Amino acid sequence: MKQHIVLKLRTELAGGLDLPDWQDFINDKSVVRERLEPDVDRLMADAGLRFWVTREYKPAGETWNADERRLGIDRTYRLILQEDSTLPRGLVDRIRLIPSVEEAHGLEIGSVPLPQPQVATQASITQTASDVIYLPYAHALTKGSSEIKIAVIDTGVNLDHKELRGKITHRADFVDLEGLDTTGFIGDIKGYDDVPEDEVGHGTHVSGIIAARGIEMDEGVAPACSIGAIRVLATMRRGSKYYGAGIVQNINPGIKDAVDVFHADVINMSLGIKHVGGALPHADIIQYALSRNVTVVAASGNDGTPERYYPGALPGVCAVGAASNDGAVATFTSYGANIMCVAPGMNIFSSFAHNTYAFASGTSQASPFVAGSVALMKSYALEQGRQLTNPMIMDILRRTSDKIDSRLRNERAGYGLINLADSFKFLAHSLN
């Protein structure tokens, strides 16, 4: 396969904006650059590797904005080898030692175990999760605004599901495993396009919790808000278990698409990967999203340990743990991230792949309850002619979540179970 190396230089290349971004370059090689900077070029030549230079990201506009420059997005590049080859052992480590290089790493495959859902019929619907977080109180004030946009960065969405028809206003598929060993993968794994169809149901389940119409399930948390379906994970099967899997670095363009193209107000990421070396996964691009006042909500993980999963463990991200419908923290909730709060995440009924429904459990299910709640708060503020910032959102969650014990903050539950009645009372008072 043609290996890639992603690296950030300390200064931007001259004429860097003239370079194509790597996604466009794969399909159109009319603009070619084969040199990066002398020391990197020398190491690559010594290894017998010829490469093309591309940009890792597209600028938000005609040129880089101040946040892109501050975070080094403008000076992040991707080297694409011109021939199928493996990277020599230690090459990336040697590139990292070059003074002009701030960070470098090869491509990594990340996988996320997917909760095993129980496909169900209407007769088995329960209606307790919304009551646990006092959602009816919030819905009496607002069910959201179509101007408030929630990006679901996941396995895609069942685009024609009756619960989600008319809700999805942005579609993008960033999964492309061309050239990789795709043993065990099923379904669509090649080619960037605007058809993020969900083959395994995970992203559809998440999207239903956020915005379902309420035909054969509870109405979503923020049913009047707009959904952006951004597929970054393909489906991989190992034995009887399914995983969402993809190239870690290829998730980043999906996040930037949510910010720059969809103009999301909230991003939900019911996924998480471990840090295995080098820069923290998604760090620059998550900071970019936060700098544009996008609230990033992420699952904390499902192994019940203090393991850190990213992006949930990144600063500024609203990490969410799972709780049962009686408010107890689920034993599977990972607590390495700085958990902000918990939300219902056990036996949650929602839309699923192929126009079906299913129950599923996990912090993946808890996260969209909070993402939808944040969207409701932003919608309510917008309806009052106001705008909520990320610090304001975090302050509301800290002050109004129901504590699970006498401590202000609990390691496994954060500030407690989200309480939308108290959140909206506090918000209404704050906006007066």
Q: How far is CA 208 from CA 20, 105, 137, 159, 184, in A?
A: 36, 36, 20, 11, 27
Three-class secondary structure of residue 236 per DSSP? strand
Cα-based angle 198, 108, 362 (whole degrees, multiple of 5): 45
Mapped to the 3 state alphabet, what secondary structure does 313-324 carry? CCCCCEEEEEEC
Three-class secondary structure of residue 215 per DSSP? coil
79 in Cβ contact with 36 (< 8 Å): yes
Residues 85, 87: Cα–Cα separation, whole Å: 7
Nearest to 324 by CA among 120, 136, 129: 129
Catalytic-role residue among 74, 105, 130, 154: 154
324 part of the active site: no
Residues 244, 200: Cα–Cα separation, whole Å: 8
230 in Cβ contact with 153 (< 8 Å): yes
354 part of the active site: no
Q: Distance of alpha carbon 357 from its chain centroid, rounded? A: 23
Can you spell out the DSSP letters for 271-298? Answer: --B---SSSPTTHHHHHHHHHTTPEEEE
232 in Cβ contact with 254 (< 8 Å): yes
Query: DSSP class of residue 311?
Result: T
Q: Give the contacts of 99 (CB within 8 A, at least 6 positions apart).
A: 10, 39
Nearest to 74 by CA among 16, 156, 144, 140: 16
382 in Cβ contact with 277 (< 8 Å): no
Catalytic-role residue among 4, 161, 170, 202: 202
Token pair 């009047």 is at which residue?
224
Nearest to 285 by CA among 25, 72, 24: 72
154 part of the active site: yes
Q: How far is CA 16 from CA 12, 13, 77, 104, in A?
A: 7, 5, 9, 18
Catalytic-role residue among 364, 379, 401, 423: 364
Catalytic residues: 154, 202, 364
